[in-house]
């Protein structure tokens, strides 16, 4: 409560008629905010590291190097940078500004933009949940490798284990009498396929077999770590990212220095950067560039909205967007050197071409090729421990999307104890199809862009003191929607082939993938119908109210409402 002496000459000053002229009363005022107080970052660096940790994920380490060399090497950097400048960075900036201005999560923010599109927020939460399941599974594999690394001889370097086959070819850098043939299988590949995933125990998805108790325990531990990383909101996660966001850069630097000193490293670097300008004439290169930059920066997933909502109102989110997106792109480029110096070393050892060694992308690049290369290095145990610890850190940062999902539901429904229950429930899931879900995420971003660009620019000017320039307006209105529709159309026209090594997944798994995508997107039209049905008035009145933004009680400099609760 605050005591205010009111000036007798001001409006509303209540003087005592029976008292001495000039005397005045004391008005006791309690200042009450209509909205609950919003948490804020303890330090500006907590926010920056959280955004960098979210944007820099596993895709930077395994996907960008593979996509780069597959699409023309150094020539791929041209479409990649163009897609970043005209598509990825404007979306990144837009989402940070929206979250900071309205100080809301991905569900409640829509009442300030266009209430009938609130279903997009629920769709974002579903996709965030899917992505968390996906990344936590990868982290569980990395944890299994990390625990297996604490021994003098790494288990994926020998062929005398119970999971090995006669085709296992054991060799080290000192084994000059061992030749690599087309039938050879490395110990690292058999460890990943037959010991970790145990693929050989199942004939296919129609008969999955028993759950691996080792991986189940690893997954339980990962979800426990995630829970304690976010259970107190940004006060906890803001401290965790000081380790999880900086440690990967230290490890990448160590691995880069070590990889550059390996024999044959130059072969990998040349293969990585050698430009093939003819590739730029194919549509697939531009599609891969657009998809890579979009899924790397991660706009549309609601995480950037959640992070920015804890910033001070006048924080310069424009500068933050430029810095963090630049760091993300440079990290992808740096990861290419780290990966391809090692691939060049592997090609030198096997006396094969780099393109043969680097034929597989995705998890196999990390858990087979890179694991095998580490095993052949001096001090293999040390490098194996720090590498797989880095993978866990990268995945842990990206799993903050689960934190966004929980924080949004907590704000919307006051589910304070929902975190622990969901982490236990999530153990029922091991993996989900990701590509189709990501394509629906692009649709959500298109809806965001079209929801009032002019008013959004005015809000940014109120918040930062300057309005977005013509370049940003053109990108938001015209270029970004075309950028996202290009990705959506390409995914629908050319669905990705689902394959694990020699096993081609049956057609019904592709149908399941589309169903997973629809399970999120269906929230948008479903909520539209629900909102129109539950709103009172005629159909025209309901429609008008559904597209009219509500007054933001927590936006702008004036966030508090003065309510007179007692007067003496």
Which residues are annotated binding-site positions? 53, 55-56, 60, 296, 328, 394, 397-398
**Distance (Å, rounded) from C-alpha 75 to C-alpha 285?**
10
Measuring CA to CA, which residue among 109, 132, 131 is closest to residue 121?
Answer: 109
* Number of Cα atoms under 13 Å in the Cβ half of residue 62: 22
Measuring CA to CA, which residue among 364, 380, 389 is closest to residue 188?
Answer: 364
What residues have CB less than 8 Å from 510, skipping those under 6 apart? 495, 498
Q: Give the single-character DSSP code of 278.
A: G
**Distance (Å, rounded) from C-alpha 82 to C-alpha 167?**
46
Tell me the CA distances in angstroms from 223 to 6, 57, 92, 403, one per residue in order. Answer: 57, 18, 28, 12
User: Could you tell me the strand order of the sheet in which 2-5 lies?
Assistant: 2-5, 26-32, 561-563
Binding site as annotated, residues for Na(+)? 53, 55-56, 60, 296, 328, 394, 397-398
Tell me the CA distances in angstroms from 434 to 258, 275, 364, 495, 517, one per residue in order. Answer: 33, 30, 17, 12, 9
Expressed in angstroms, the distance from the first to the final Cα of the chain is 13
Tell me the CA distances in angstroms from 168 to 49, 115, 165, one per residue in order. Answer: 43, 60, 6
């Amino acid at each position: 409560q605050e005591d205010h002496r009111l000036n007798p000459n001001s409006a509303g000053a209540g003087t005592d008629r029976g008292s001495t002229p000039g005397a005045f009363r004391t008005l006791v005022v309690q200042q009450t905010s209509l909205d609950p107080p919003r948490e804020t970052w303890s330090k500006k660096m907590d926010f920056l590291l959280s955004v960098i940790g979210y944007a820099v994920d596993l895709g930077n380490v395994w996907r960008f190097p593979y996509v780069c060399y597959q699409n023309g090497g150094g020539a791929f950097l041209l479409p990649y940078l163009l897609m970043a400048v005209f598509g990825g960075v404007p979306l990144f900036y837009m989402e940070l500004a929206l979250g900071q201005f309205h100080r809301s999560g991905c569900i409640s923010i829509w009442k300030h933009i266009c209430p009938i599109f609130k279903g997009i927020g629920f769709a974002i939460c579903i996709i965030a949940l899917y992505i968390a399941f996906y990344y936590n599974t990868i982290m569980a594999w990395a944890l299994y490798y990390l625990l297996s690394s604490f021994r003098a001889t790494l288990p994926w370097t020998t062929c005398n284990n119970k999971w090995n086959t006669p085709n296992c070819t054991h060799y080290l850098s000192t084994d000059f009498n061992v030749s690599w043939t087309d039938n050879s299988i490395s110990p690292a590949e058999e460890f990943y396929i037959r010991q970790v995933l145990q693929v050989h125990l199942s004939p296919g998805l129609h008969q999955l077999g028993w759950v691996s108790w080792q991986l189940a325990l690893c997954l339980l531990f990962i979800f426990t770590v995630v829970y304690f990383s976010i259970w107190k909101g940004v006060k906890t996660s803001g401290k965790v990212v000081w380790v999880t966001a900086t440690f990967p850069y230290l490890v990448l630097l160590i691995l880069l220095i070590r990889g550059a000193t390996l024999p044959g490293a130059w072969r990998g670097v040349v293969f990585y950067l050698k430009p093939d300008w003819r590739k730029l004439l194919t549509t697939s290169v531009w599609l891969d560039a657009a998809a890579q930059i979009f899924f790397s920066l991660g706009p549309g997933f609601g995480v950037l909205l959640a992070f920015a909502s804890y910033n001070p109102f006048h924080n310069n989110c424009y500068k933050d967007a430029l810095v963090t997106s630049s760091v993300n792109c440079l990290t992808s480029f740096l990861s290419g050197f780290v990966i391809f110096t090692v691939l060049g070393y592997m090609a030198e050892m096997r006396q094969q071409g780099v393109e043969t060694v680097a034929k597989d992308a995705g998890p196999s690049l990390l858990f087979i090729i890179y694991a095998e290369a580490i095993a052949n290095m001096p001090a293999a145990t040390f490098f194996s421990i720090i590498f797989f610890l880095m993978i866990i850190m990268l995945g842990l940062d990206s799993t903050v999307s689960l934190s966004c999902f929980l924080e949004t539901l907590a704000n919307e429904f006051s589910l304070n104890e929902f975190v622990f229950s969901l982490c236990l429930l999530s153990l029922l899931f091991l993996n989900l199809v990701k590509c189709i879900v990501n394509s629906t995420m692009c649709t959500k971003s298109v809806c965001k862009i079209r929801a009032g660009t002019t008013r959004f620019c005015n809000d940014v000017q109120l918040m930062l003191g300057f309005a977005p320039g013509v370049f940003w307006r053109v990108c938001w209105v015209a270029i970004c929607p075309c950028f996202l529709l290009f990705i959506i159309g390409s995914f629908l026209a050319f669905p990705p082939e689902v394959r694990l090594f020699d096993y081609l997944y049956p057609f019904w798994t592709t149908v399941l993938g589309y169903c997973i995508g629809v399970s999120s997107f269906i929230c948008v039209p479903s909520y539209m119908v629900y909102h129109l049905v539950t709103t009172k008035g005629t159909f025209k009145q309901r429609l008008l109210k559904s597209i009219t933004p509500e007054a933001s009680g927590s936006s702008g400099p004036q966030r508090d409402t003065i309510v007179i609760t007692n007067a003496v």
